Chain A
Amino acid sequence: MNEKIPFRKLFFMFWAFFKIGAFTLGGGFAMIPLMKEEFVDKLKWLKEDEFLDIIAVSQCAPGAVAINSSIYIGYRLYGLLGAAIAVLGTVLPSFLIILAVALLYAKIRSMPAVQRAFRGVYPALVVLVMSAAINLWKAAFKNYVDMGIAAICLAALFIFDVHPVFTVLAAGISGVLFDLRKEHGEEGDIG
């Protein structure tokens, strides 16, 4: 990391985060399909299981999930400089847009076309976020114990409204207790 600074790659990374930041509507989770598309599928800088780990840590640490995950990915790829550039890329679009909004506040608020555009975006976002879950399926589910963990977590989130942080920590602890790696080797893949 200390040798030559890979300016070209850093620029690619900045641009990827800028795009993600510009299109992350509807809270942090909407950026998961976009991040996966850029870093796992297109640039192939991260593997699917690494990506899942990054999402888990970003979700459990304090702060905005979008900021956490971009700092993590940037740091993981290019150290401290990478983290700084990644967070700048993620924050810059909303920073500029909100500055514009703060200036034109009253006008934008009453534009019906803007509101209608967003009514169209949200159903598509639901599909995108769901597709991210399906795409990452294989990296997360290697056997029936994994599927059991996911089912219990879903029930905890849906029915009992357990906080995501506790859900993730409990799942991790169950992983420590049940040694899923051994299960993986012997049961074979079902993905």
Chain B
Amino acid sequence: MILIKLFWAFFKIGLFSFGGGYAMIPFIQREIIDINGWLTLEQFMDIIAISQMTPGPIAVNAATFVGYKIAGLLGSVSATCGVAAPSAVIIITLAFLIKKYRSLKWVDRFFLGVRPAVIALIVNAAYSLGKNSITGIKDVFIAVLALLGLYMFKINPILLIVLASFLGILLG
């Protein structure tokens, strides 16, 4: 049953990849190429490239693409459900437990300590995005315009992304 196989492979990908995004690539690669041989390495590299250009988590993109290639529309539904299923179970359990025990003193303390770390994580994410994407004068120009748009003109983030893509086309 190819649908069950797809579901299970992506279930494992969802379950064992921590940190999201690019941290998932080795897990995805192992399941899709090494174990099941569903894609060639070249096709896999293309998926990574496509994922960088299309919205959404890499794991979901890979699940949809591989599922479709292997078993059509049902395949992509099955693989995508597989990749989301572990998250659903784990997050709902955690959310339930946190809600129940949030008022305990040490849980409260834990989250107070965690918050500054989250800021550090976000700054770090901005840095690594910037390291790879702000490489020339045009990129700096777009970043400065985005900064002005965001803070001086209060442009909505989604509109900002759309405008930036037009700017990218114009500047070539």
| Interface, chain A (partner B; CB < 8 A) | 19, 21-30, 32-34, 37, 49, 52-53, 55-68, 71-72, 75-76, 80, 83, 87, 90-91, 93-95, 97-99, 101-102, 105, 108-109, 113-133, 136-137, 139-141, 146-147, 149-151, 153-154, 156-158, 163-165, 167-168, 170-176, 178-181, 184
Contact = CB atoms under 8 A, between A and B. Distances in A.
B80 interface: yes
A99 B68 contact: yes
Contacts of B40: none
B19 interface: yes
A24 B87 CA distance: 18
A95 B108 CA distance: 37
Interface residues of B, number: 91
B1 interface: no
B37 interface: no
A59 to B, nearest CB: 6
B57 A66 contact: yes
Given A63-B87, A68-B87, A28 B120 contact: no
Contact of B113 (A99, A137, A141, A178): A178
A181 B109 contact: yes
Interface in B123-172: 123-127, 129-130, 132-134, 138-140, 142-143, 145-147, 150-151, 156-158, 160-161, 163-169, 171-172
Interface string B78-94: 00100110111011101
Contact of B158 (A34, A137, A153, A179): A34
Given A27-B21, A136-B122, A123 B110 contact: no
Contacts of A32: 122, 125
Contacts of B65: 98, 101-102
Contacts of B64: 94-95, 98-99, 102
A171 B126 contact: no
